[in-house]
Each structure stands twice: as structure tokens, then as C-alpha cells.
Amino acid sequence: MTEDTLTFDRHMLEALVCPVTHAVLEYDAERQELISRSAALAFPIRDGIPVMLIDEARRLDD
């Protein structure tokens, strides 16, 4: 990650839940994703903004 890359505000994580299961999310700083283990989905973080759309999520089994 470069200095120009925006980072995710970890405090925002406390307010976000999985849009599918409403479970808590895990932050993966290396991949810049929010992980929902219960839904087996990873939601991308783009320019410091979580994209919480199911169509944009990556399946964890991929």
C-alpha cells in the first residue's frame, strides 16, 4: 500500500454490518475488504469507502 492510498477508518467498522446476515464484519487491511464470515462474502473498500453491495462482493470460496 502506498502513501497515496486512502485507508479505511476502523471506527466506521463498528457501525457497519453485513447487508445479508446483519453480522459483524472483519477488516482485512491487506486486501482492503470487509469480510462477512457468516455470508461468506468480502466487500471491497474503494478509495476508503466500503462498497456494501452484494453484487460487488467477492465470494470467499473464490
Tens digit of pLDDT per residue, the chain (62 long)? Answer: 444 345 667 677 778 999 999 999 999 999 999 999 999 999 999 998 899 999 999 999 86
Q: Is residue 1 part of a domain?
A: no
Q: Is residue 50 part of a domain?
A: yes
Query: Are the C-beta atoms of residues 35 and 17 closer than 8 Å to each other?
Result: no
- CATH number of the structural domain spanning residue 32: 2.20.25.10
pLDDT at 7: 61
Where do runs of H (alpha helix) occur along the chain?
10-13
Q: Is residue 3 part of a domain?
A: no
Counting the structural domains of the chain, the total is 1
pLDDT at 1: 43
Distance of CA 52 to the CA centre of its chain: 7
| Residue 24 belongs to domain spanning | 10-59
Q: Is residue 18 part of a domain?
A: yes
Q: Is residue 2 part of a domain?
A: no
